[in-house]
Structure formats: structure tokens, C-alpha cells
């Protein structure tokens, strides 16, 4: 499809390209630039109304709509899965208002919008990962007041977060945080990486890819630019660890080095494991790399 055709199509539908008006997109792009300039810092933005309820990825969606161009190829995943209703709906919507190509193949996508996972495939500098964020404030667990958390960030006053981890260790013998594991970005801001599993945290560190985070309900955008240090909070004697699946393997592709979902067969009641990243698993299965 040519640019002209796309424009005609979207204007015929009564929408601007990528649904948002140019002013809104410009504002969001400005906020993205600010977020990139201050890694890990939450930039407020004027969240727009979208034909999707807040809390269903509208933050990520607005970022995608603001940066997507006709030459992009889009992939949308929800908890690693291209086929989930949510991912499919968002992908359809963006496809309809932009006309861009969509894909399920991580390698072929230039923009990936995701919820709760980072793809297994190591992403490149030509790709952008957009994460949907329900709760952008990593310090909310220790401080309910927004003005106070802002002050804590401004002054890098993070002892209460460390105290929270100390208490966790005293109580449970380890840091019990699963998803939303707090990270320090560029040695400065503590950031909520969105509810990705601990497994995905190391992928944020000094990556080639630009990571953008959008929280629609809370109207915040933040970013981890390429090659930025992202360190999970940890103690020398209680180190950060990713999830351990023991000797479990993916039932489909046989993988033992991916993040696995535990699934219980409804009929037999048997437990088994399967790659949470369905695209990665599919391609390994087709390749015959799997068992």
C-alpha cells in the first residue's frame, strides 16, 4: 500500500493516521524524547481517550501510535503470546488506523508492543520494544503519596526501598518479589520494569534496543535507551536471581533456556511446561530445533 492509499483510507474512516491527532502525537513524542534523555525518569504526559478502556494497554498504545510510521512492521504480544485476544485486538486496531504490516516474528518486527514479557529473541538496535505499564511507580509499595515519591526520586532518597528489601529477607529468607522487580537505571532512578518476570530483567541491561514504557491510567512515560545500565536491586549476600525451572523443558519445543509457563491439563490434571514466548517456541518447533 502506498502512503497516499493509507492516508486516503484512514481519512476516509474519519481518522487521522494512527488515530491520534498530530498535536497529540507530537506531545507524546516530545515526552518520549525527554524520557530517553533521563533514563528511568517518569515523564508525565496528557493521556488521550482511546477506544480501549484505560488499564488495557492504552499507555503503550499511545506510544506506539505516536512513533509508528508507514514503513514499520508491528508485532503485539500479551504475556508472550501473539494470539491472545488482547494482543490481537490491539494489533487489529493499530493495523486499521495505520495500515502497517503486522507480524508475529520477533525478528521481522520493527516495533513490538508487549504486556508482561520481553521476547526471548535478543532484539536489535533497529527495533523498539514498547511495554504496557499498569503501575509506573516502583516506590508505591513503600510510599502511598505521589508528592513524596517524587521527592524521593528527585533526591535519590531510596533507603526505604532498600529497607523494604531488608525486611523481605528478614521475613522470608530471600527477596520475594516476582514480577515488577525494582531496578536501578543508569545508576540513578529506581524504576518499575512493568510486570515482566525476573527472567526478563537482564535483557534490559545494556541492550541494543530502545525500551519505552507507557502507563495510560497514570499518565506516565519512561524509557531505557540502548546501552543503558539496568541493575536489579540486590545485596552482596542476597543476589538477584531469575526464576529457576529446575530441569523442566518446554513440552512443544523442548527448550530449557526460556521462560516457561506452567500449564495444568484440564482433563488429566497433569502439569507441564511450555514456552511463554509462543513465537519463539513456534519457530523452534518448525525449525526442528526442538525435540
Partner 1 sequence: MAPVLKLKNITRLFGKGCPSCLESTGPDADTNVCSHCGTVVACACVSLDLYHDEILGIMGESGSGKSTLLKTLHFDIAVSSGEIYFENCADINLLTMSPFEKRRIRNFEMGIVYQNPHLGLKMEVSSGGNVAEKLLMAGWKNIDKTRKRSRSLLRETEFPVGRMDEPPKNLSGGEQQRVQIARALSSNPKVLFLDEMTTGLDLSVQARILDMLRSLQKRFHVSMIVVSHDLGVIRLLAQRTAVMKYGRVVELGLTDQILEDPRHPYTQLLVNSEL
Cα dist. 133→213, 245, 251 in Å? 6, 26, 30
40, 60, 80, 99: the catalytic one is 40
246, 275, 288, 290: the catalytic one is 275
Measured from the CB atom, the residue of 125 and 167 that comes closer to partner 1 is: 167
Measured from the CB atom, the residue of 237 and 266 that comes closer to partner 1 is: 237
57, 59, 60, 253: the catalytic one is 253
Task: Indicate if 250 belongs to the active site.
Answer: yes
By the rule CB under 8 A, 266 interacts with partner 1: no
DSSP string over 175-241 = ----SS--EEETTTEEE---S--GGGHHHHTT-SSEEEEEETTTTEEEEE-TT--EEE--BTTB---
Task: Indicate if 256 belongs to the active site.
Answer: no
Please give the size of the binding site for partner 1, defined by CB under 8 A: 17
What's the closest the beta carbon of residue 75 comes to partner 1, in angstroms?
A: 38
Residues 92-151 interacting with partner 1 (rule: CB under 8 A): 151
62 close to 31: Cβ distance less than 8 angstroms:
no
What's the closest the beta carbon of residue 231 comes to partner 1, in angstroms?
A: 11
57, 99, 250, 290: the catalytic one is 250
Segment near partner 1 (CB under 8 A); pick from 42-50, 229-237, 244-252, 263-271: 229-237
By the rule CB under 8 A, 236 interacts with partner 1: yes
Handedness of CA 89, 35, 193, 138 (dihedral sign): negative
Segment near partner 1 (CB under 8 A); pick from 73-81, 83-91, 186-194, 228-236: 228-236
Site string for partner 1, 155-184 (x = CB under 8 A): xxx-xx-xx--xx-xx--------------
By the rule CB under 8 A, 235 interacts with partner 1: yes
From the list 15, 238, 240, 272, which residue makes contact with partner 1 (rule: CB under 8 A)?
238
CA–CA distance, 39 with 189 (Å, rounded to integer): 8
CA–CA distance, 173 with 155 (Å, rounded to integer): 30
Measured from the CB atom, the residue of 81 and 139 that comes closer to partner 1 is: 139
The helix (H) or strand (E) run that includes residue 3 is helix 3-12
As given in the structure block, the three cell numbers for residue 205 are 541491561
What's the closest the beta carbon of residue 162 comes to partner 1, in angstroms?
A: 4
What's the closest the beta carbon of residue 234 comes to partner 1, in angstroms?
A: 8
Task: Indicate if 253 belongs to the active site.
Answer: yes
Residues with Cβ within 8 Å of residue 256, at least 6 apart in sequence: 245, 247, 248, 249, 250
Sheet of 230-232, strand order: 189-191, 183-185, 230-232
CA–CA distance, 244 with 235 (Å, rounded to integer): 19
What's the closest the beta carbon of residue 236 comes to partner 1, in angstroms?
A: 5
As given in the structure block, the three cell numbers for residue 123 are 532484539
Task: Indicate if 81 belongs to the active site.
Answer: no
204 close to 224: Cβ distance less than 8 angstroms:
yes
By the rule CB under 8 A, 237 interacts with partner 1: yes
CA–CA distance, 93 with 142 (Å, rounded to integer): 37
Name the residues annotated as catalytic.
40, 250, 253, 275, 281
Binding site for partner 1 (CB under 8 A): 151, 155-157, 159-160, 162-163, 166-167, 169-170, 234-238
Amino acid at each position: 500500500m502506498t502512503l497516499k492509499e493509507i492516508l486516503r483510507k484512514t481519512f476516509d474512516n474519519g481518522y487521522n493516521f494512527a488515530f491520534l491527532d498530530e498535536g497529540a502525537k507530537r506531545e507524546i513524542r516530545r515526552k518520549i524524547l525527554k524520557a530517553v534523555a533521563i533514563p528511568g525518569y517518569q515523564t508525565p504526559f496528557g493521556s488521550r481517550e482511546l477506544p480501549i478502556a484505560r488499564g488495557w494497554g492504552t499507555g503503550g498504545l499511545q506510544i506506539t501510535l505516536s512513533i509508528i510510521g508507514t514503513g514499520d512492521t508491528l508485532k503485539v504480544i500479551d504475556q508472550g503470546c501473539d494470539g491472545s485476544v488482547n494482543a490481537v485486538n490491539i494489533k487489529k486496531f493499530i493495523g486499521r488506523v495505520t495500515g502497517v504490516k503486522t507480524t508475529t516474528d520477533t525478528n521481522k518486527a520493527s516495533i513490538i508492543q508487549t504486556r508482561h514479557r520481553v521476547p526471548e529473541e535478543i532484539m536489535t538496535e533497529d527495533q523498539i520494544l514498547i511495554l504496557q505499564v499498569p503501575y509506573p511507580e516502583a516506590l508505591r509499595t513503600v510510599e502511598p503519596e505521589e508528592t513524596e515519591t517524587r521527592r524521593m526520586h528527585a533526591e535519590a532518597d531510596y533507603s526505604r526501598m532498600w529497607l523494604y528489601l531488608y525486611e523481605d529477607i528478614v521475613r522470608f529468607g530471600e527477596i520475594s518479589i516476582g514480577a515488577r522487580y525494582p531496578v536501578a537505571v543508569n545508576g540513578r532512578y529506581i524504576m518499575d520494569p512493568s510486570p515482566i518476570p525476573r527472567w526478563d530483567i537482564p535483557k534490559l541491561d545494556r541492550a541494543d534496543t530502545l525500551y519505552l514504557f507507557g502507563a495510560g491510567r497514570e499518565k506516565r512515560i519512561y524509557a531505557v535507551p540502548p546501552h543503558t545500565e539496568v541493575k536489579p536491586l540486590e545485596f552482596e549476600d542476597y543476589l538477584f536471581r531469575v526464576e529457576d525451572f529446575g530441569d523442566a523443558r518446554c513440552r512443544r519445543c523442548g527448550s530449557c533456556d526460556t521462560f516457561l509457563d506452567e500449564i495444568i491439563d484440564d482433563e488429566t490434571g497433569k502439569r507441564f511446561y511450555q514456552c511463554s514466548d509462543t513465537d519463539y517456541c513456534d519457530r523452534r518447533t518448525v525449525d526442528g530445533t526442538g525435540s
